[in-house]
Amino acid sequence: MKTLTPQKSIILFIILLVSVLLNPACKSSELTKEERLAQKELARAERILEKEKLREAQSAPASSMEELLRRQPNVIVTGSGNSVKVEIRGSTSITSNNEPLYVLDGRRMGNNFQLISHINPGDVHRINIVRDPAELSAYGLGAAAGVIEIITIK
C-alpha cells in the first residue's frame, strides 16, 4: 500500500476543496460540514509541508560559515563576501562594536567575522550562541556583544 507524501496530500485536498466549492448543488453561503473538514485538512497538510521544507533546509549542508550562522536562532547576518556583519539579537551597544566575540575550540579569535570565515562548515560540530550576562562575564569585556562558540570535529 502506497503512502501519501505531504505534497500529494495537499494536492488531493486542494482538488477536493475546489470541487466542493465549485459544485453548483451547493447554493448556500455557509460552509457545509464537508467543506469545513476539507479546509481543516488542507490547513493541516500545509503545516506539515512547511515543517518538512524547514527540516530539509536546516539539514542541507551549508556552503559557507556565513550561511551556517544565518541558520542560527537570534543571529543576524548582513552583507556578503568581505563585508559580512554578524550581530546577536538583543546584544547591541551604541558606543562599542556590535560584533560578537568568536571562540573557536576554546581559543578567542576576536570580534571580526573574517577571522572565522575560512572554516569549512562541514568541519563544524556545533555552534553555541552565548547571550547570558553571567556566562559572558567569563569572556571579559570583548564579549559585551555576545559570544559565538564554534566547536569543530576533532
> Residue 29 has what pLDDT?
55
Q: Which amino acid is at 137?
A: S
Same domain, 43 and 76: no
Same domain, 55 and 120: no
**pLDDT per residue rounded down to tens, the chain (154 residues):** 456 676 777 777 777 767 766 665 555 557 788 888 888 888 888 888 877 777 766 666 778 888 888 888 888 899 887 888 898 887 666 666 788 999 999 999 999 899 898 999 889 989 999 988 888 889 888 888 899 999 998 7
Q: Provide the residue range defining the domain that includes 99.
A: 65-152
Question: Is residue 1, in this structure, part of any structural domain at all?
Answer: no
> Residue 105 has what pLDDT?
93
> Residue 23 has what pLDDT?
65
Q: Give the C-alpha separation, 111 to 116, whole Å.
A: 10
Question: Is residue 27, in this structure, part of any structural domain at all?
Answer: yes
Q: Which amino acid is at 31?
A: L
Same domain, 24 and 80: no
What is the tally of structural domains in the chain?
2
DSSP count for the chain of H helices, then E strands: 4, 6
Question: Is residue 115, in this structure, part of any structural domain at all?
Answer: yes
Neighbours of 64 (CB within 10 A): 16
Same domain, 93 and 113: yes
